[in-house]
Amino acid sequence: MCGLILNGRTGGFSDVELDTGFWGKYSMTPLLLNLYIFLLGMCVGSFLNVCIYRLPAGRSIIQPASACTGCHTPIRWYDNIPVLSYIFLRGRCRTCHSAISPRYPIVELLTGSFALAIWLRFGTHPPTAAVYFVFIAALLVITFIDIDHRIIPDVISLPAIPAGLALSFFLPPVSWLDSLLGIVVGGGSLFIVAWGYHLLTGKEGMGGGDIKLLAMIGAFIGWQGVLFTIMASSFTGTAVGLAVMLRARKDMKMAVPFGPFLAIGAILYLFFGPRWIEWYLHRFLV
């Protein structure tokens, strides 16, 4: 007995109807499915926290199990439930009562929200949704590591470049040529900017990590996406950099890591980029 009845229109999840049979209890309405994806995303976020914390130290992200950074007591499974445990424990370790950074639940909530947003945007083609969720997860890890340590880990950005190119052969949104040009434009343009800055000032401006990150972004969203990312991150980066500079009166380059702005630009493109480019072309060129 089949519990799911497809009602004959198209095959998407929203067309799945429930009957009262055995499987009916376990199959999902769109609302439940969305909730499930959000919760699953938060669990992935919990793993991203481990990556953010351990990758810069060169530690394994698989073992040992997570422990309190204060007293090194291993965290029990019921104290490791995304967001909820943080609320129940009121942000403190159960054993030593030292404060747990609110960053942990924030990363979990962000990851859950992005999982849901990606599903709503690309859900009609699940492989694309899966790849872009992994892409955003990598950007989240890179962003928080860059904020903490001012480095972009090669261990993520370098393998992601060929991976993005290889995946472009199977995913509809970006052709392999767009992806290849994205790597060249992304890696090349920032390299030229960094080289020019070095010529003009004699100082190291942009890190090599930023160049590799933009090449990775190009591999996943193509050369159009890279150009958009450079524009968007220049605007947001300059605005935030100026604000920080005015407040702290410090060297902008030292005050603000650039990786997070590249990540924000790439994510904006993923969700809204094609629409903005279309609007721009109609408004100014046609």
Type of residue numbered 66: S
Footprint of Zn ion (CB under 5 A): 68, 70-71, 93, 95-96
Residue 74 Cβ, how far from Zn ion at the closest point, in Å? 10
When the beta carbons of 14 and 98 are compared against Zn ion, the nearer one is 98
Note whether 184 and 218 are within 8 A (CB).
yes
Residue 63 Cβ, how far from Zn ion at the closest point, in Å? 19
Note whether 167 and 175 are within 8 A (CB).
no
When the beta carbons of 67 and 158 are compared against Zn ion, the nearer one is 67
| Distance separating alpha carbons of residues 195 and 188, to the nearest angstrom | 10
- The b-or-e profile of 60-88 (16+ CB within 10 A means b, else e) is eeeeeebebeeeeeebeeebbebbebbee
Residue 44 Cβ, how far from Zn ion at the closest point, in Å? 24
Type of residue numbered 32: L
When the beta carbons of 74 and 196 are compared against Zn ion, the nearer one is 74
When the beta carbons of 94 and 253 are compared against Zn ion, the nearer one is 94
**∠ at Cα 164 (40, 227), nearest 5°?**
105
